[in-house]
Structure 1
Amino acid sequence: MSHNAIYTDLSGYYDLMCADIDYQAQSQCVQRVHQLFGNGGKRHLDLACGTGPHVRHFLDAGFQSSGLDINQPMLDLAHQRCPEASFSLQDMCGFRADQPLDLVTCFLYSIHYSGSVDRLRACIARVHAALVDGGVFCFNAVDKSQIDNSSFVSHTAHQDGAEFRFSSGWYYAGEGEQQRLRLRIERTDGGGIQLWKDEHPMVAVTFAQLIELLEPYFEVQVLEHDYQRLSAWGGVSGNVLVVGVKRSAL
């Protein structure tokens, strides 16, 4: 199974897979970040937007919000959720924006879908090109050196008489620039159990490497991964919220 196939084939289950995520809290947190560090503009693009739940919250907060993703079935669902928004089928490492942007987001660690350091660098450059001066790039990330290969998160959801159990966890072999996101979906109903497993190749970086990639383009702030309270990263936790404010000149 290709590393994006599970999202294409099971796009109808994606929202169940993410049912434990507080999209509103995440969106409101980044809106506060934009108020603190940004230019006050409302033109927003969500990279790897999936079915559009974050875009929905930004629209409801008065943003002119749009999204892009590489899976059309996900975008079809995003259009249903946010008919007033603009969505495009694009790779976030080579996208072009229709208009200058004030805010670019990338939630749910999706920045790691860049897959390699070179592609991550290209993504950062494309975001910089799309933003106006003072525009903000905000995303969350994980440090490869702090990944616990035995750690998984799981939750259960129900739909159409079936029970779904979703599990995911990071895996890093200890060297190189690639880590993996391991996914497991188990569906149980009267007919028995169905099981899907997949591994997504993701770019692996330390926070020091990530900051080094960003600093030619952005003034960088690293915050604790806490959507309820904004505070500077203490240098201990292995996942963070990264804020980049566009430098006006390279």
Structure 2
Amino acid sequence: MLSNAIYTDLSGYYDLMCADIDYRAQSHCIHRLQQLLGNGGKTHLDLACGTGPHVRHLLDAGYQSSGLDINQPMLDLARMRCPEAQFALQDMCGFTLGEPVDLITCFLYSIHYSAGLDRLNACIASVHAALAQGGLFCFNAVDRQRIDNGSWVSHNVSQAQARFSFSSGWHYSGEGERQALKLRIEKSVAGEKQVWHDEHAMVAVSFSELMALLQPHFDVHMLEHDYETLSAWDGISGNALFACVKI
């Protein structure tokens, strides 16, 4: 069995790794929040858009949707999925738009890719500048104080003759502004296994710290991390959905 940390570009595995994600439910939830809390407009930008599955769903819902990412191979796949959308190779912690948009999203905990509190603050400032008045910023986040280092999420999927097992888990040392997203991919073909391990540096932030960064710019609604039922955060769970209206 081979084991090494050889991959840094997830584009070849991204859709398989995310095969169990209900993109439709997530996108529909954000559409509902835009109708309930936002300005109701239909221009949209997805930060860290990856291969564009959320952009695809929001295009189909009638949005003029676009995306940005720092990974060109991801954007190449996104353009194939969404040829009518606009995509840009930009850093979400320092991006600019030609025209403001009504809705900005950042799914799959990608806000944590800011990697540090200064860059997270720069990301929030960039989002605020890019939103139209009354526009909505939606993202999900994890509280560093509630991370269980022993908790992993896994799923299996088959493609052609190969079977893949994907696992991911958060790790926080207990101090500082860095946490890690640990990933493991196992590929089995004809009884032979290959295993890849990767670790992504992410920003570690508590919900109270995150609220302090957001509130100068937004009216913030913290919701339970449940895309089917919109309900206020219970004050206990370590995952939350943030819906932030530009003020």
Specify the alignment match of 1:77 in structure 2. 77
| Counterpart contact for 1:7–1:14, Cα < 8 Å | no
| Counterpart contact for 2:225–2:240, Cα < 8 Å | yes
Report the CA distance between 1:13 and its aligned residue. Answer: 1.7
| Counterpart contact for 1:188–1:194, Cα < 8 Å | yes
Off by >2 Å, runs of 4+ in structure 1: none
Report the CA distance between 1:88 and its aligned residue. Answer: 0.5
Identical columns (%):
68
Specify the alignment match of 1:29 in structure 2. 29
**Is 1:194 aligned with 2:194?**
yes
TM-score by structure 1 length? Answer: 0.95
Q: Deviations over 1:44-90 (max 9, x none)?
A: 00000000000000000000000000100000000000000000111
1-structure distance, mates of 2:190, 2:228: 40
Report the CA distance between 1:6 and its aligned residue. Answer: 3.5
Report the CA distance between 1:96 and its aligned residue. Answer: 0.9
2-structure distance, mates of 1:230, 1:196: 37
1-structure distance, mates of 2:11, 2:100: 30
Report the CA distance between 1:12 and its aligned residue. Answer: 2.0
Specify the alignment match of 2:3 in structure 1. none
Residue 25 of structure 2 aligns to a residue whose secondary structure is helix
1-structure distance, mates of 2:8, 2:29: 26
Specify the alignment match of 2:52 in structure 1. 52
1-structure distance, mates of 2:8, 2:13: 9
TM-score by structure 2 length? Answer: 0.96
**Is 1:139 aligned with 2:139?**
yes
Q: Deviations over 1:94-153 (max 9, x none)?
A: 111132110000000000000000000000000000001100000000000000000000
Specify the alignment match of 1:213 in structure 2. 213
Report the CA distance between 1:192 and its aligned residue. Answer: 1.3
Specify the alignment match of 1:117 in structure 2. 117
Q: Which amino acid aligns with 1:199?
A: E
Structure 1 unaligned segments of length 5 or more: list them.
none
Specify the alignment match of 1:183 in structure 2. 183
2-structure distance, mates of 1:199, 1:59: 32
Residue 11 of structure 1 aligns to a residue whose secondary structure is coil
2-structure distance, mates of 1:7, 1:98: 31
| Counterpart contact for 2:71–2:89, Cα < 8 Å | yes
2-structure distance, mates of 1:139, 1:97: 19
Report the CA distance between 1:191 and its aligned residue. Answer: 6.4
| Counterpart contact for 1:101–1:131, Cα < 8 Å | yes
Structure 2 unaligned segments of length 5 or more: list them.
1-5
Specify the alignment match of 1:204 in structure 2. 204
2-structure distance, mates of 1:163, 1:180: 26
**Is 1:38 aligned with 2:38?**
yes
Deviates more, 1:188-197 or 1:231-240: 188-197
Aligned residues: 242
| Counterpart contact for 1:44–1:66, Cα < 8 Å | yes
2-structure distance, mates of 1:120, 1:39: 25
1-structure distance, mates of 2:195, 2:216: 45
Q: Deviations over 1:176-199 (max 9, x none)?
A: 001000000000102611111000
2-structure distance, mates of 1:121, 1:191: 48
Aligned CA-pair RMSD: 1.0
| Counterpart contact for 1:7–1:71, Cα < 8 Å | no
Matches within 5 A, 1:160-171: 160-171=160-171
Residue 180 of structure 2 aligns to a residue whose secondary structure is strand
